């Protein structure tokens, strides 16, 4: 409620002295009831309108205002070589900010402007995600995505190693895979320098420098999907035996034998005999080049 405006009056009575005293007292009482000079010219305020700025004292006698209404912040997308999405939102009545960042750097990322630059990156994998993998034994395993977005080691279930014969045969099959170099000798007093590659899928290839000789004596050194081999047994001496196909040309093959296959303990030396329908042996003495 505003104070009434005081007016100056001139008393023209015979008792002028008494009127002047009453007027002065009324004036002093009115000023004391309405406050000082500021209260006469400024009305109370309900708070400031500037975002984040403290308001003035409210008319209800409360403390300083806690700021203006929320104002959404800006959204920035992209920084060179990464994929960062930053969302900024005003905190209620304080003028403060909250920042949330999602994603990790990709190979290229967004450029400085939206739409220019490379493709965006993403996490390598979702933590907790599981995918299949192949174990060293050939069986299937699983890899689980770690918290840093990368996959852990391939986890393989334990398997029954089997009998001694089964273990030895598995070792020979696994160990003979790779590239080998050395010599082939035979009863006909000829020899052949050779490089042989045994593949895990059961195919093989064999060559000699400049095709100076036919590596398996019979057939051709040309590569063919019909050139196959298979170890299918192991002797009490830990020597392997099996089959090998001698290839002459497409559709023209002979089935031969692998006998007395021996693999060194470090799996870097290989020796075996190859036989063709009772003719032989072709003796191979080889050293590993690679797996």
By the 10 Å C-beta count (0-12 exposed, 13-18 middle, 19+ buried), 282 is classed as buried
Q: What pLDDT, on a 0 to 100 scale, did the predictor assign at position 159? A: 64
Q: What pLDDT, on a 0 to 100 scale, did the predictor assign at position 79? A: 44
| Contact (CB, 8 A) for 43 and 35 | no
Instruction: Indicate the number of domains in the chain.
Output: 3
Residue 253: give its domain's CATH number.
Answer: 2.40.128
Which is more confidently placed, 128 or 275?
A: 275
Question: Per the domain annotation, does 52 fall within a domain?
Answer: no
| Contact (CB, 8 A) for 111 and 117 | yes
Within this chain, do residues 282 and 174 fall inside the same structural domain, yes or no?
Answer: yes
Question: Per the domain annotation, does 136 fall within a domain?
Answer: yes
Which is more confidently placed, 229 or 8?
A: 229
Question: Per the domain annotation, does 222 fall within a domain?
Answer: yes
Within this chain, do residues 148 and 186 fall inside the same structural domain, yes or no?
Answer: no
Q: How confident is the model at residue 86 (pLDDT cuts 50, 70, 90)?
A: very low
Within this chain, do residues 130 and 104 fall inside the same structural domain, yes or no?
Answer: no
Within this chain, do residues 111 and 132 fall inside the same structural domain, yes or no?
Answer: no
Judge whether residue 273 has pLDDT over 50: yes
67 alpha-carbon distance from chain centroid: 44
Range of the domain at 276: 167-290
The residues near 285 (Cβ < 8 Å, ≥ 6 apart) are 182, 183, 185, 271
Q: What pLDDT, on a 0 to 100 scale, did the predictor assign at position 155? A: 86
Which is more confidently placed, 184 or 68?
A: 184
Can you tell me whether residue 223 is helix, strand or coil?
A: coil
Within this chain, do residues 176 and 227 fall inside the same structural domain, yes or no?
Answer: yes
The sign of the dihedral angle between the CA atoms of 131, 136, 140, 141 is: negative
| Contact (CB, 8 A) for 179 and 197 | yes
Q: How confident is the model at residue 48 (pLDDT cuts 50, 70, 90)?
A: very low
Within this chain, do residues 77 and 133 fall inside the same structural domain, yes or no?
Answer: no
Q: Find residue 85's DSSP bridge partners.
A: 77, 102
Question: Per the domain annotation, does 118 fall within a domain?
Answer: yes
CA distances from 158 to 103, 164, 165, 169 (A): 37, 17, 19, 19
- Give the residue from 103, 65, 61 showing the smallest Cα distance to 81: 103
The reply to whether the predicted model has a pTM over 0.75 is no
Question: Per the domain annotation, does 9 fall within a domain?
Answer: no
Within this chain, do residues 116 and 129 fall inside the same structural domain, yes or no?
Answer: no
Within this chain, do residues 180 and 274 fall inside the same structural domain, yes or no?
Answer: yes
For 152, other C-beta atoms within 10 Å of its C-beta total 11
């Amino acid at each position: 409620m505003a104070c009434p405006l005081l007016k100056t009056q001139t008393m023209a009575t015979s008792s002028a002295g008494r009127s002047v005293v009453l007027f002065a007292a009324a004036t002093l009482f009115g000023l004391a009831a309405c406050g000082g000079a500021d209260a006469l010219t400024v009305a109370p305020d309900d708070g400031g309108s500037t975002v984040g700025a403290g308001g003035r004292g409210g008319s209800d006698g409360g403390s300083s205002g806690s700021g203006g209404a929320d104002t959404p912040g800006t959204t920035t997308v992209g920084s060179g070589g990464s994929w960062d999405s930053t969302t900024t939102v005003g905190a209620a009545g304080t003028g403060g900010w909250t920042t949330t960042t999602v994603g990790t750097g990709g190979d290229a990322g967004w450029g400085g402007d939206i739409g220019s630059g490379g493709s965006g990156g993403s996490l390598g994998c979702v933590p907790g995600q599981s995918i299949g993998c192949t174990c060293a034994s050939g069986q299937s395993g699983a890899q689980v995505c770690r918290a840093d977005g990368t996959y852990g080691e391939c986890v393989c279930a334990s398997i029954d190693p089997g009998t001694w014969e089964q273990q030895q045969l598995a070792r020979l099959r696994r160990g003979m895979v790779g590239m080998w170099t050395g010599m082939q000798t035979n009863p006909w007093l000829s020899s052949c320098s050779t490089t042989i590659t045994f593949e895990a899928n059961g195919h093989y290839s064999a060559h000699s420098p400049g095709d100076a000789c036919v590596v398996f004596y019979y057939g051709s050194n040309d590569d063919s999907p019909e050139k196959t081999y298979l170890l299918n047994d192991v002797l009490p001496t830990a020597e392997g035996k099996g089959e090998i196909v001698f290839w002459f040309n497409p559709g023209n093959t002979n089935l031969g034998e692998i006998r007395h296959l021996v693999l060194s303990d470090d799996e870097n030396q290989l020796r075996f005999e190859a036989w063709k329908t009772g003719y032989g042996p072709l003796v191979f003495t080889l050293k590993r080049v690679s797996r």
